[in-house]
Amino acid sequence: MPDKDRDAVFGVFRQIIAGEIESLSKYENKLLTKNGEVRYIDWNNAIEKNPKGEIVGTLSSGQDITERKRAEEAAQRYHRDMAHVMRLSTMGEMATGMAHELNQPLAAIVSYCGTAESLVNSLPSPPQQLREIMVRTAEQAHRASDIIRHLREHVRKEDKGEETFELDQAIQNIITFLKWDVQESGVEIELRRGSQARKVKANKIQIEQVLINLVLNSLEAFEHAKIAGGRVVIQSRLLPNGMIEVIVADNGPGIDATMADNIFEQFQTSKKKGMRIG
């Protein structure tokens, strides 16, 4: 047991044996192997009593759940990273939409202000305050347009987190990450490595997000169609132009023919409970 945890844990057991607190039937803690590796143990505990009913000790059995814990932690990290990417993507779409929708009325305001200012200047003795109001209005409209443009540029130039990595290995990591979902579904996933261990420069999280979404879509399709013996094949291949192509295919029901022309449009889905994010 790690030095920093030992006193606290033994203190709890001493209190249990003394009858001061009730024993926890289940709990988790960390243990160290001989080489110092941390392992997570899931404990089941029982109290031992003598014929007089006095507590004389505890009996504990532990199961090593390290791999499960690591898979859960990896899943949480992926979900956090993907949520961040989704927020950035949504923010970019909002900024682009806002720029498109607001720039036109702002341009109209600037134009109207210019016309009004010309009319004011044509008057024999225009109020100076009115002319200043027109100028300030036009300035604020320009300022609002600049803010929207800067927001859009900021999102577009946001650090995309590009890195160089081996694509086939990244795909293998995704398959490992999804192994719990795959085991429960009974679906078989096959990776056909064809990129010859070549590396790509891209946003790794976004690539992983796309592939994970595709595989999860396959699993959902198998479940919805009640298809046994589901199979997903992820294949990479090196193209003559130096690009790498990744294909995700399954033996499920396929894409609804009515959706075929719209699958790359936003908010399109054939799922009854789909997020409609795309």
Q: Is residue 273 part of a domain?
A: no
User: Are 52 and 123 in a shared domain?
Assistant: no
31, 64, 97: which is the final residue of a domain? 64
| Same domain flag for 183 and 249 | yes
User: Which contiguous run of DSSP H or E holds residue 208?
Assistant: helix 204-225
How many structural domains comprise the chain?
3
At how many degrees (to 10) do helices 204-225 and 66-122 cross? 110
Which domain range does residue 106 map to? 70-156
Residue in 115, 95, 110 with CA at minimum distance from that of residue 140: 110
Q: Who's near 172: CB < 8 A, 6+ residues apart? A: 191
Is residue 272 a part of any domain in this protein? no
Assess if residue 241 is contained within a domain: yes
The whole-angstrom separation of Cα 255 and Cα 250 is 11
Pick from 132, 156, 180: which residue ends a domain? 156
Residue length, the chain?
278
Q: Which residues contact 43 (CB under 8 A, 6 or more apart)?
A: 26, 27, 28, 29, 60, 61, 62
Q: Is residue 276 part of a domain?
A: no
Same domain, 17 and 36: yes
Does 59 share its domain with 74? no
Cα dihedral 128/129/133/139 (nearest 10) = 60
Place of tokens 């085991």: 183
Secondary structure class of 267 (helix, strand, coil)? coil
Q: β-strands 26-32, 199-203: how paired?
A: unpaired
Residue 265 within any structural domain of the chain:
no
**What pLDDT score does 192 carry?**
92
pLDDT in tens, the chain (278 residues): 888 888 888 888 888 888 888 777 778 888 999 988 989 999 888 888 889 988 888 888 999 999 988 888 888 888 877 777 777 667 667 767 777 778 788 888 888 888 888 888 888 887 878 878 887 788 778 767 766 765 665 555 555 568 899 999 989 888 887 777 787 788 899 999 988 888 999 888 778 878 888 998 899 889 888 888 899 999 999 998 889 999 999 998 888 787 777 777 655 666 666 544 54
Query: Last residue of a domain, which of 19, 40, 64?
Result: 64
Which residues lie closer than 8 Å to 107 by C-beta, 6 or more apart?
145
Question: How far apart are alpha carbons 98 and 5 in whole angstroms?
Answer: 54
> Quick check: is 264 in a domain?
no
Q: What is the CATH number of the domain that holds 248?
A: 3.30.565.10
Q: What's the whole-model pTM score?
A: 0.45
Do residues 147 and 200 both lie within one domain? no
